[in-house]
Amino acid sequence: MFAHNKRLMYTVRVSETNPKLGSLMLEQFGGPQGELAAAMRYFTQAIAESDPKRKDMLFDIATEEMSHLEVIGNIIVMLNKNVKGEMAEGIKDAELLRTITEGGESHVASLLYGGGAGLINSGGAAWSAGYVDTIGEPTADLRSNIAAEARAKILYERLINVTEDPGVKDALGFLMTREIAHQKAFEKALYAIDGNFPPGKMPGQAQFESRYYNLSTGEGDARGPWNQGDSWEYIDGAQSQAAADGGDGSASVKLTPEQAKLWNASAARTASRADGNPQTGAELGRKRSS
């Protein structure tokens, strides 16, 4: 059971309205790295989680992300507050037109949502459940969660850099910092699982799991801890172009005699001749036009 606390998790103080800035803030409301996507990701993970300790953590963080959604939504509404009144009362025609078309998706937020916070990103694309990439394996999902929090932090940094409003900067700084806290929590939970790498239960094939294939050629080949040292077998040159299993690199399938007969008949019927030079429609058309 959920209960809504009417106080925001962080106080929102917007110095002046700015619909253009409000449209940029939509990225963290209805975007792929936004707060709703995070809340739904962790909420669905929590429901399916078999470990009671991780379940509790995921429910806590999912609920906090909903409170973050409320904070960023209120920032958007405050930035659009002048538009909401002017749109509703139908005043200042020319000035209102300039206001709602000054950039970003401010015209969408103004006309479609009346200055409210729609579940769209800053480009106007509708929120999608496809943003939730849960796969149901904690050692994979926790890694994905860490990456999601990192991406969200970067977006908050970028949003902080495009506003001079001290109140907005302050609230965004809080939200950005909470992304760091969540990264730490998810990473601690991941490494609290013994044998968390590789993800899942099945081990890799020993002869392949530590190979690095140098499959790019030319100037710029680089070596580093990602492809050298005791942890790696470096495969270079012609050897990197050969089939990894030592076979001929072809594809084959066993067919029954009847299946093979039908396949051969189909292949013979659709085969291209290597001899001759058949005339094409394009060539006929070229001759007529010349």
Q: List residues with catalytic annotation.
A: 35, 65, 68, 149, 179, 182
Max distance between CA atoms of the chain, in angstroms, equals 82
User: 24: part of which helix (H) or strand (E)?
Assistant: helix 19-25
Is residue 103 within 8 Å of residue 23, measured between CB atoms?
Answer: yes
Distance of CA 249 to the CA centre of its chain: 34
Token pair 């000054």: residue = 102
Cα separation, 49 vs 26, in Å, equals 30
Tell me if the bond preceding 19 is cis, omega within 30° of 0: no
For residues 38 and 170, give the distance between their C-alpha atoms in angstroms, rounded to a whole number: 21
Beta-ladder partners of 213:
235
In degrees rounded to 5, what are phi and psi of residue 233? -110, 115
Instruction: For residue 85, give the amino acid letter.
Output: G
Strand partners, 126: 120
In terms of Cβ atoms closer than 10 Å to its own Cβ (0-12, 13-18, 19+), residue 260 is exposed
Cα(111)–Cα(177) distance, rounded to whole angstroms? 33
Q: Give, as one character, the DSSP assignment of residue 255.
A: -
| Geometric angle at alpha carbon 78, from 75 and 83, rounded to 5° | 135
